[in-house]
Amino acid sequence: MDMKIFSLFVALILSSTSAFTSAHNKLSDSEGGDTSKQELQKILFVDDSLMNRKAFSRVLKISLKKLGLEGQYLVETATNGQEAVNMADQTSYSLIVMDMQMLNMNGAEATYKIKQTSPKAIIIRFSTLTEGEVVDIAPEEAKETILQLFSAVLKKPTKQQAVQDVLKEFLLKQIE
């Protein structure tokens, strides 16, 4: 039943207007000589599902717009934990939203590694897993502390208001 709700949610998000899609494409295009894009704060969304990456990126952008933060953040995506670790080593992110169940490196391990080099990183757990299941997949050395490494939790499937609340809590706090 939850999968049906999530599928409907994704379908709703993917039916966004062409004007929004155009704005999304402008924000997502990090190539070219436009130096204003280099000054944008960055949000990283990590999930191995292409459909989730596309849908959640749009939800993030809609939520940013509703909070008056449109044009201030660039949403980037990673397909697995290892890619997220590599990206976080190269770039400072204002916020990271991390799926837990991924191939190559799961979200608990990626979170642990990112926190080793960026202890102040704000990482949001995005998953259907319970706390116990997250502990089970965490690296042995992180099992006792893994849950404290996450700044907040978004349960799959999530609603736009929940995403907006997380952005409001963590991004608006950074601006003040």
What's the pLDDT tens digit per position in 2-18? 544 444 444 444 443 33
Give the predicted TM-score (pTM) of the model: 0.78
> pLDDT, tens digit, for every residue of 54-81?
999 999 999 999 999 999 999 999 999 9
Question: Which domains does the chain show, CATH number per domain?
Answer: 40-175 (3.40.50.2300)
3-state helix, strand, coil split of the chain in percent (to 5) is 55, 15, 30
**Residue 108 DSSP SS3:** helix
Q: CA 55, CA 38: separation in Å to the nearest integer?
A: 24
